[in-house]
């Protein structure tokens, strides 16, 4: 069953954020992930959304693969950059099984 990494992101340093994106994308591909949404500025139909925060959604084959990516040595450098490049909230969530789609 697919799993998604959903991230609410605010860029703190654009130059570092660009480097982070490059490293993150390469590591995501290594673990079978693909971007579904990247840096979109959502429109809140209900509730509130901070206008300075973008949305990123990455699909992985399953939650275990998403966790492997997040703790991988390939993502480690990007994760270190993230500390000063971005402020974010990151979530792992399972998608629906094929038979329910």
Could you give the 3-state DSSP secondary structure of residue 95? coil
CB 3 within 8 A of CB 62: yes
Q: Are 60 and 54 a contacting pair, CB within 8 Å? A: no
Which tens digit of pLDDT belongs to each residue from 9-36?
999 999 999 999 999 999 999 999 999 9
Chain segment 90-101, per-residue pLDDT in tens: 999 999 887 766
Model's pTM, two decimal places?
A: 0.91
Give, as one character, the DSSP assignment of residue 62.
S
Express as a percent the part of the chain with pLDDT over 90: 83
């Amino acid at each position: 069953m697919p799993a998604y990494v959903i991230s609410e992101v605010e860029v703190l340093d654009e130059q570092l954020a660009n480097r982070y994106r490059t490293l993150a994308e390469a590591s995501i591909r290594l673990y079978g992930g693909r971007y579904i949404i990247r840096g979109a500025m959502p429109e809140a139909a209900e509730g509130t959304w901070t206008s300075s925060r973008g949305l990123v959604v990455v699909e992985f084959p399953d939650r275990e693969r998403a966790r492997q990516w997040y703790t991988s040595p390939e993502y480690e450098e990007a994760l270190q950059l993230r500390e000063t490049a971005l402020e974010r909230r990151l979530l792992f969530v399972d998608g629906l099984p094929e038979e329910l789609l």
